[in-house]
């Protein structure tokens, strides 16, 4: 059973890699960013509440995101394993996830960190042109990443669950690195 977390700064290519690796290994791809964008598009109460945070590049409140993840992990397509892409994003979400997984009797195999230098990240984010990808918001998202999400690298390293991958290469090259590293360590 393969259950993975994808860490890494915004623009590191983790969403792209999560989709490709999930396809190759037949895992459910669970992106909290996608789930939130869908809620915003449908203007559900959760989406309406989340939208302002997303537009500013801030994290959406933990309780909203945890509810989405909890529901998603109960769905049948997760039975063969999953990739959590973009969750957890801070220490409290990491602890909530541990508690949730204990409750549903599941465990993480690895937390994958895609390592990409800052200038490459900014260039990639400006190129993709999403609504929350203007330069001021990109800067804020990177700050939030550094302050809140980057400390999770050590959190998972301390638990011997960290897999570090050099993400500064073409998409296919990074995928190959990931899949072979997962084969060895999964």
Active-site residue set: 14, 89, 128, 130, 141
Q: Is 36 in the site for ligand AMP (CB under 6 A)?
A: yes
Nearest to 159 by CA among 109, 100, 104: 109
Stretch of 22-30, 32-40, 41-49, 161-169 contacting ligand AMP, by CB under 6 A: 32-40
Q: Is 59 in the site for ligand AMP (CB under 6 A)?
A: yes
Candidates 12, 18, 65, 73; binder of ligand AMP (CB under 6 A) is 65
Q: Is 86 in the site for ligand AMP (CB under 6 A)?
A: yes
Q: Which two tokens stand for residue 4?
A: 């993975």
Q: How far is the CB of 87 from ligand AMP (least distance, A)?
A: 4
Candidates 2, 51, 53, 115; binder of ligand AMP (CB under 6 A) is 53
> Among residues 99 and 184, whose Cβ is nearest to ligand AMP?
99
Q: How far is the CB of 32 from ligand AMP (least distance, A)?
A: 4
Q: Which of residues 121-160 bind ligand AMP (CB under 6 A)?
A: 141
DSSP assignments along the chain, one per residue: -EEEEEE--TTSSHHHHHHHHHHHHT-EEEEHHHHHHHHHHTT-HHHHHHHHHHHHTPPPPHHHHHHHHHHHTTSGGGTTEEEEES---SHHHHHHHHHHHHHTT----EEEEEE--HHHHHHHHHHH--TT-SHHHHHHHHHHIIIIITHHHHHHHHTT-EEEEE--S-HHHHHHHHHHHHHHH-
Q: Is 13 in the site for ligand AMP (CB under 6 A)?
A: no
- Closest-by-Cβ residue to ligand AMP is 33
Q: Is 89 in the site for ligand AMP (CB under 6 A)?
A: yes
Identify whether 88 is preceded by a cis peptide bond (ω within 30 of 0): yes
Provide the binding-site residues for ligand AMP, judged by CB under 6 A: 10, 32-33, 36, 53-54, 57-60, 65, 86-87, 89, 93, 141
């Amino acid at each position: 059973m393969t259950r993975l977390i994808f860490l890494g700064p915004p623009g590191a290519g983790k969403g792209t890699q999560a989709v490709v690796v999930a396809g190759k290994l037949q895992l459910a791809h669970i992106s909290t960013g996608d789930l939130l964008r869908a809620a915003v598009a449908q203007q559900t109460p959760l989406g309406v509440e989340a939208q302002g945070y997303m537009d500013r590049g801030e994290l959406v409140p933990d309780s909203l995101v945890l509810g989405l993840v909890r529901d998603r992990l109960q769905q049948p397509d997760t039975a063969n394993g999953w990739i959590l892409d973009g969750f957890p994003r801070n220490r409290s979400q990491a602890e909530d996830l541990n508690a949730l997984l204990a409750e549903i009797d599941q465990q993480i195999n690895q937390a994958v960190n895609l390592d990409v230098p800052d200038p490459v990240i900014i260039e990639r984010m400006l190129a993709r042109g999403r609504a929350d990808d203007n330069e001021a918001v990109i800067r804020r998202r990177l700050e939030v990443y550094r302050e809140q999400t980057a400390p999770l690298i050590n959190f998972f390293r301390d638990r011997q669950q960290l897999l570090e991958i050099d993400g500064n290469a073409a998409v296919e090259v990074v995928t190959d690195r990931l899949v072979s590293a997962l084969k060895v360590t999964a």
